[in-house]
Structure 1
Amino acid sequence: MKRRDIIEFEVDKMEFGGTSVTKIENRDVSMKGGITGQRVKAIVQKTKSGKADVKMMELLENSPIETQTPCKHFNQCGGCSILSVPYEKQLEIKERQVLDLFLQQDLIGFEFLGIQGSPLNKLYRNKMEYTFGDEVKGGPLTLGLHKKGRHIDILTVDGCFLVDNDFISVLTSTVKYFNEKELPYYRTMSHQGYLRNLVVRKGINTNELMVNIVTSSQIDFDMAEYKEMLLNLELEAELVSILHTINDGLADAVQCDELRVLHGRDYITEEVLGLKFKISPFSFFQTNTKGAEVLYSIARDFIGDHSDKVIFDLYSGTGTIGQVMAGKAKKVYGIEIIEEAVKAANENAKLNGLSNCEFIAGDVGKTVKNLKDKPDLIIVDPPRPGVHKDAVRDISGFGAKEIVYISCNPRTLVLDLVEFKKYGYEVEKVKCMDMFPNTPHVESVVLLTKVL
């Protein structure tokens, strides 16, 4: 087997993160994507001793475990890679993948409580970020998601299973409207053009909807007619926020140089476990509201009675977890490096009448050193790269009896748990929560206890 060889094989083991590994000619052949039992054609990209990396060129035969009827965009869109697999089987696969990662790091002897499925495995997303473009060069305007394996081509995903009809109505009416206006979409290579993104957010429990159209400043276009078109749509939710974001940044990401409120207010509200949260167009909030309620309930159950405890909520974001825990805590300190998120967290705490919550902007590793109180319990919910080694050292230095680690990336989770073990923390309980059905991702909740 050498570079540029074309090979055919049956996919063997699916690993966490959406990759697969198959043994061929005594080599571990790694490939992005692939479902156990599929027969594929692939091109060899790289080889080294005992290993090879390949890229799928063609799906030759479906897997026997692919028994679900997917959406019409499946295998074209870069989204739901395992939508064709029954949901119960998806949960089995994810549970095994997480356990394998623990075993690879010799993390054993804990109580494993399995995986909790999402209350909804379709129509569960409360946010979608769509991109303007075209499906083929020179073709009509499209608005949707990137095609699988493509950085430029955009597919209008009007049959997506992840969102409800309100999202689809806003998506299809928007692309139709701007097609008629013949406005150019923004091209990331030349940095020329006008239409960039459409971001839709919905309060699942409050039934409030936000529509945010994102453009460059290169054309002075009056959005009044677009606003009226949206307000005349027959939607199930209440359209409380229509926004126009000006973004002249060069990166292919939604950022705000100027925010214009076209209708209503610049936020929606959502309720989670009896608490209210204001969600701005750029604030982080779990994209699966019903799943978040289950995730936070798992974390709360792990903590048990904490009415006399001081809690540190690290990487606190907009403070959702800390506020969920605050009802029976003595004091909650939240630390988050993004100042806008901290501002929102403090506003939400005030909205919920929580006087025992304080959210502070700063780097976790540095800020925790300046707090006068010592924690009885620490909650960490870091981004995908996990906790920096220095932060693990600082967090452990507080000597909290318990740490609850909520992770969106079990690969970095297990590496961090090995580091915590060096400071005397052992894994007591683990439970997985499927926040992202039909995708390779999964959340994990871990209870660590101080034993040294």
Structure 2
Amino acid sequence: MIRKKKEFPLLEKVTITDIAAEGKAIAKVNDLVIFVPYVVPGDIVDLQVKRKKNTYVEAEAVKFHQYSSIRAVPFCQHYGICGGCKWQVLPYSEQLTYKQKQITDNLKRIGKIELPDISPILGSEQTEFYRNKLEFTFSNKRWLTNEEIKQNTVYEQMNAVGFHIPNAFDKVLAIEKCWLQNDVSNRIRNAIRDYAYQNNYTFYNIRQQEGMLRNLIIRTSTIGELMVILICSIKTEYEQELYNRLLQYIADLFPEITSLLYVVNNKCNDTITDLEVHTFKGRNHIYEEMETLQFKIGAKSFYQTNSKQAYHLYKIVRNFAKLTGDELVYDLYTGTGTIANFIACRSRQV
């Protein structure tokens, strides 16, 4: 016997009132708390309930009756599909206002913490192309958008390089342009994709553990250095030859690459922390600078993904510490050691 699918109600002309975590907004109907993605406070919408929990429900906006006066137009063609940058519909200044309110409310109302005066959030001066690292995935299972499905077309090209779709680990949305990293990242990714299409390279199938191209990591620095890491599954000499040809193509097409690295990953998972990183061209690292300091960043290094904002953050940490030069400072949780090195000049020892 086929179990009848449970039907959830449609809530009409609901006003969105607040911002929640994880890119969702909040509405209330008769004291029922509703979490909704891709809407902003002031929107008036019809909501289709998707999931019911004990104390709240999750819903999707299926019709807009009125757009909020603070609503912005998304700038990315992949908005609402890839799962990232969920607040493109909310101006950055408004995002900061709501985030500050959320932090204060959580500490006071939920944490029951008495707070001193809180300084305003220090916003990022750059809100596009600000990340210094992005990781892309190759897959032979391209995610089809609702518009593509409605066309009822048989697509010959189902290989894609881009980002995983939320809740679909084996499918990848083909990314044409991402606004998170320097545009050279888009040019490199798209060039590799086109070369792979033209030369019939296989894209990885995570379920069947088959295919050659797996992942692409691109790192940049504020001083213009560029690292590209191509991760592939290589099981034959012929695949190794194809790998070398692709690496040489990238090196020739993008001479600005400082470090062209590659990793052979024949494991089931995508992590490379336990794998050897090989250098095809240039150094096995790039450099980042902060004041008089120079940091060496390798393929596996952790570094704050917004370099310029990290610099502002570290300056605040240094000022808050009010170091006199006599202190012994312990760095108990560190990555590349940026904070420890940054404050070393103001302390006796770190």
In structure 1, the partner of 2:148 is none
Q: Is residue 160–residue 174 contact of structure 2 (8 Å, CA) maintained in 1?
A: yes
Structure 2 unaligned residues grouped into runs of 5+: 145-154
Q: In the TM superposition, what are the counterparts of 1:109-258 in structure 2 within 5 Å?
A: 109-133=115-139, 134-136=142-144, 139-147=157-165, 150-204=168-222, 206-219=223-236, 220-222=239-241, 223-233=243-253, 238-258=256-276
1:53 to 2:70 alignment: no
The aligned residue for residue 70 of structure 1 is 75
Amino acid at match of 1:52: Y
Q: CA deviation at 1:69?
A: 4.3
Deviations 1:196-225 (A, max 9, x none): 110000112x21101101112335332332
TM-score by length of 1: 0.67
Tell me the residue number matched to 1:380: none
Residues 19, 67 of structure 1: CA spacing in aligned structure 2 closer, same or farther, 3 A cutoff?
A: closer
Determine helix, strand or coil for the equivalent of 1:242: strand
Root-mean-square deviation (Å): 2.4
1:14–1:34 Cα contact (<8 Å) kept? no
One-letter code of the match for 2:128? K
1:259/1:13 CA distance change after superposition, 3 Å: same
Aligned to 1:23: 28
| CA displacement 1:381-426 (0-9 Å, x = unmatched) | xxxxxxxxxxxxxxxxxxxxxxxxxxxxxxxxxxxxxxxxxxxxxx
Distance 1:58 1:211, change over 3 A: farther
SS of the residue 2:181 aligns to:
coil
Q: Distance in 2 between matches of 1:291 and 1:42?
A: 38
* 1:8-46 C-alpha deviation (Å, 9 max, x unpaired): 344332123323332123222234554323425333322
Superposition TM-score, scaled by structure 2 size: 0.85
1:246–1:99 CA distance, 2 compared to 1 (3 A): same
Superposed CA offset, 1:165-187 (max 9, x none): 21111011011111122222222
| Greater strand proportion | 1
Distance in 1 between the 2:128 and 2:212 partners?
A: 33
Task: Give, in whole Å, the separation in 2 of the partners of 1:83 and 1:307.
Answer: 44
- The number of residue pairs the alignment matches comes to 326
SS in 1 for 2:191: helix
Aligned pair in 2 of structure 1 residues 63, 154: CA closer, same or farther (>3 Å)?
farther
Match of 1:404 in 2: none
- 1:148 positional shift: 5.1
